[in-house]
Amino acid sequence: MLKGLDGWLTDGSEEARLADGLEASRMPRHVAVIMDGNGRWAKERGLPRTEGHKAAAVSVREIVEAGARLGLEALSLFAFSTENWKRPVGEVRMLMSLLEDFLGKEACLLVENNLRLRVLGDKAKLPASLRRELDRVERETRDNSRMTVGLALNYGGRADIVEATRRILAERKLKPRDLDESVFARYLGTAGLPDPDLLIRTSGESRISNFFLWQIAYAEIWITPTYWPDFRKIHLFQAMLDYQARERRFGDAAS
């Protein structure tokens, strides 16, 4: 079993059985997650949609801890897209409040466990109090090195690419012949992070939903029908095993 999982899993459990099959040498560096299904989770239980968002926080805690124990370099969570502003005002307001409250409670755990928070997306449209909390936690964790937790807020893949292009044009430093894929990537919101090796989407939907359009060019995709509030380490282990069983060719011929 991977060293980071020792003592965390119950002996003889399904989680432990799955973890025994994981190979440290084949672990992805960066896992990205489209956290989907909060509203449907709540609806099936006769609860308000907001209760689904509250329940989702439990999944975030467990998956962040699991990712760190697995030795991931980065774990990116798609929390709120540029399109999510179309949702009911009350739901959006509650979600922003929940995020702020979550950060207030969890910041010390990020610090204590050497985890870095990095916000991905345009913070300008977010409530001022949430922006202050995000800035505070980013400052307090910026030197942490165990794992980067990328929190995609008011993020859109198309907007990320457009904004990168604007930065390049505004600098007026690059000549056309000097612009290639590696240079362009340095202007994206994820600059400095490896591209995701694995993209997980919960709730069974087969869409990218405008997430990491540039970055996931060669990511392996794993879709589960499980709603995000029910997503736990056992599902993450299943995704990892599936990932490790694949042959990643990056456009090359099959071996």
Q: Going from the N-terminus, what domains does the chain have, and what CATH number goes with each?
A: 27-155+196-244 (3.40.1180.10)
- Predicted local confidence at residue 56, as pLDDT: 97
- Predicted local confidence at residue 175, as pLDDT: 93
- Predicted local confidence at residue 156, as pLDDT: 98
Query: Coil, helix or strand for 23?
Result: coil
- Predicted local confidence at residue 58, as pLDDT: 96
Q: How many CB atoms lie within 10 A of CB 162?
A: 11
Question: Which one of the listed residues 84, 113, 144, 210 is annotated catalytic?
Answer: 84
- Predicted local confidence at residue 254, as pLDDT: 64
Structure tokens at 37: 């299904």
- Predicted local confidence at residue 253, as pLDDT: 61
| CA gap 129, 152 in Å, rounded | 17
Q: Tell me if 75 sits within 8 A of 149, measured CB to CB.
A: yes
Structure tokens at 249: 């060719």
Catalytic-residue membership of 180: no
DSSP tag of 46: T
Q: What is the pTM of this model?
A: 0.96
Question: Which one of the listed residues 36, 160, 195, 197 is annotated catalytic?
Answer: 36
Q: Tell me if 122 sits within 8 A of 83, measured CB to CB.
A: no
Catalytic-residue membership of 84: yes
| Residue pLDDT tens, the chain, 255 long | 899 999 999 999 999 999 999 999 999 999 999 999 999 999 999 999 999 999 999 999 999 999 999 999 999 999 999 999 999 999 999 999 999 999 999 999 999 999 999 999 999 999 999 999 999 999 999 999 999 999 999 999 999 999 999 999 999 999 999 999 999 999 999 999 999 999 999 999 999 999 999 999 999 999 999 999 999 999 999 999 999 999 987 876 665
